[in-house]
Amino acid sequence: MRLGSALAALLLVVSAAGCSKREAAVKIPSVEPSVVIAPAPAPVAPLPEKAPVMPGDIDPSLFAHVLVENGKTYVVLDTNPDVDRWAQGAPTLVSDESPVVARREIVPNALPASLVRRSGTPVRLYGPEGAVCEGRLGPISLISRVEPEYNVRQQWKGEDYDGTPIPPAKPEQIAEEAWDMAEGGRSLVAELGDVQGDCKDAMFARDRDLPQARPLTVKDASAALATRAAAEMRNLAGYTEIDETYQNSGIQTPDVAWEHLNGATPTVKVFSGEGATYVWLDADAGEVCSAFRGKLTALWKLEGGSGKDARFVKLYEGADDFLPSTLVHLDRDGSPSLLGYQSVLRKGPTGFAVRSVSVPYFLCPC
């Protein structure tokens, strides 16, 4: 019997108890609440107000994630689409490579008017070091991206778990199952048309009539600055919590701090430019599925210069698997945004937080 989306969901529950079998799987990224997808929602009147956004979402004219899949460039209009109301028709398969990409048509009259108006907008796309291409926002659709568990791919190819040959899946079946798996990996996008330049390294898009963004690339911190950042880290509340867990783990080593367990060393990076310096720290030690794993990240702004007397002002503290490569000022308030692979750390109503359009992966972490 072929593994459908229902069994795929069941595997997520099984995996919580352990991964002793190859077919057990766990979805690592957090997911959105379950939704029921209507095959063809009835058209409704356009919404006159701005598109509904999750707290902290930025105006898509100022910043929009960029996805490059199967040779096409997509600009993300909404990372949390209302699939119940906006989607119509069955999913179609865009690519069965890595990741698996499926697409659904939209109900145009169901979209907020502010999103509909984005179609046709000229935009400029940026990579880590600046502008890389330009184009115009084209057709709007919904896409899903997911990295299925190994055995699901084998079934699609015509081989059951035990090696028994079964009929290979048809593209429409792959598309449907991949779409159902991809909660947390669906986006409302506009395909980029009239492209000028090479968009393969694009990270984000802004309206072309805005002043050009000037990204600052990451650099390794000096030894002196890294030492100061490590000292500041030990004053963070998160550090104390992790240290308590480490001391009670049974694998603590005398005179070895948790961030140096098994030879680990915090990574410290610096972004400097436009009259400001920011310091990023990532401490990661131990192992997933072991007695201990500690993860702590932090962002500070240096005030009073960038020398030994500079004061560290904390902007963010968390535990996200986030690796920034670029800093850019996107918001009109001048606050910094750090960009990683299909993710951004930026200031919202409740402070700095990481938002991403990463692909959901189904795998056994142990």
Q: What is the pLDDT of residues 89-113, one digit of tens each?
A: 999 999 999 999 999 999 989 999 9
Which domain-ending residue is among 212, 236, 262?
212
Domain that holds residue 78: 29-212
| 224 and 198 inside one domain | no
Residue 125 and residue 34 share a domain: yes
Shared domain check, 204 and 262: no
Residues 193 and 273 grouped into a single domain: no
Could you identify the residue written with the tokens 């600055």?
225
Residues 110 and 253 placed together within one structural domain of the fold: no
* Domain closes at, from 323, 338, 357: 323
Q: Is the pLDDT of residue 35 over 90?
A: no
User: Is it the case that residue 87 has pLDDT exceeding 90?
Assistant: yes
Q: How confident is the model at residue 45 (pLDDT cuts 50, 70, 90)?
A: very low
Q: Which of 212, 247, 263 is the last residue of a domain?
A: 212
* 114 shares a domain with 88: yes
Question: What would the mean pLDDT of 257-285 be, rounded to a whole number?
Answer: 95
pTM given for the model: 0.79
Task: Find, among 246, 257, 332, the residue nearest to 291 by Cα.
Answer: 246
Percent of the chain with pLDDT over 90: 71
Judge if 285 and 246 occupy the same domain: yes
Report the pLDDT value the prediction gives residue 57, as an integer from 0 to 100: 64
Our count of domains for the chain comes to 2
In a domain, 254, yes or no: yes
Mean pLDDT within 129-145: 97
